[in-house]
Structure 1
Amino acid sequence: MKTIFITGASSGLGKAAAKLFQAKGWHVIATMRKPENEMELRKLSNVSLIELDVTDTDRTNKTISNILKSHSVDVVLNNAGYGLIGPLEALTDEQIQMQVQTNLFGVINVTRAFIPFFRERKSGTFINITSTFGLLGYPTCSIYNASKFAVDGFSEGLAYELANFGVKVKIVAPGGMQTDFAGRSMQGGFHPKYTQLVEKVSEGYSDEQIANYTKADDVANVIYEAATDDKNQLRYIAGNDAIGLYEERIGLTAEGQFAKMRAQFIF
């Protein structure tokens, strides 16, 4: 039986992935900050609930070290993260630091803790969840963009480093998803000088728009594909909106897409 280690498994995509891999016969180590509150995954066989806050480096290292003493992990899914939206001028130092600490350093720290185990075994796969906004910029998302672009670059660089050891690094970049990401998992700030821009951007988070987004279960299927297809593919784009934007970026070039999108937000 193969084992997957998942961060941020208490809701949304992380929980959908945990349920899918469990249904496929995997042992799932589902980590989250408050496992005592998780009732659904607790009822499933071959699911271990573990407390983990990816922003706490020391405890993350100790937790993973303890897990590897009794489990042979095959795939690490770095999923924990949240969105921070708002004009840069509206964000506090604390908000910016926590965004980067969670979305970027959380991925780096978890990954670094597993590398020696995978390297010595000469097998293993890291799957890092980025976003459409890890491939292209978007207004009021500059810090979120920064964190996800960074994970994309980190993953590509690391993929080269680990290739000679038989260890794979992959990226799954979803577009909009029908989860609570736009609610519970999103933070931000307000600045009066950006009201018109924020109103324009907010159209993308309307109930009508969210209804057209990809379901978390569908993105979980892409994650499962990345974990099991045995390909040396780096990026997996998940969701019709994400695929459309990525193909547009390739077709127009990054500068061409920038010019097109910039025109949408100039008033």
Structure 2
Amino acid sequence: MTNQPVHSPQFFLTAPSPCPYLDGQFERKVFTHLVGEKAAELNDLLTQGGFRRSQNIAYRPACETCRACISVRILAGEFKPNRSMKRIIARNDDLVAQEFPAEPSSEQYSLFRGYLDARHQEGGMSDMTVLDYAMMVEDTHVPTRVIEYRIGADGLDGDDSERGKLIAVALSDLMGDGLSMVYSFFDPDYSDRSLGTYMILDHIVRAQDRGLPHVYLGYWVAGSSKMDYKTRFLPQEHLMSGGWERYEG
């Protein structure tokens, strides 16, 4: 029997379950726990190797018959918004964004609940309670931020009316080489603002301002229309069998 050092992560494999992106496929995931004083260092290493974080778990696909999930990261330093993206930036120039520690609020959950009810009624997160949401935000052992986007804000330190209406939220990890977007959601009544795209564009600027080279977007799934938007942010890199490879569409 081999004894592993306490600081060495142990990896586990989930049982097969129906794939949420491709009909007829079954997904499996390999995962490990992100806890302790080395959690941030391990999260950086695993994210660079194609893992994603959910609470204190890092996971990546380990499907038996499919390799459609491809890790994507934007090359923030080289990114230039196209004409359509510039229009989205202009459309949202009245928004005020503020970055906070990973702490949930009832206001965030109300927005989150409305987003799920409008966009993901049959998804795996559809029955999340306020306690589930709180765990999603604060159960982290790595540097994590909540970014709130408000409209009609008169100030950032006043009450809710002065701070403006909350219409979008992003949960993101701060890594040594970039920002990793863990989850984002928005008010579906403002769908004409393309807030999902806007939050990614805002993260690119935040990475640039910090001198960080990457924005990690998670997985692009070839053949899934839900994921097509991720390949619009060019140039970017895809994690292939030989490592990260440049992708320009």
- Name the structure with the higher strand share: 2
Q: State the TM-score, normalized to the length of structure 2.
A: 0.30
Judging by fraction of residues, say which structure has more helix.
1
With the length of structure 1 as denominator, give the TM-score of the two structures.
0.29
**Taking CA–CA contacts closer than 8 Å with sequence separation of 6 or more, which of the two structures ends up with the larger relative contact order?**
2
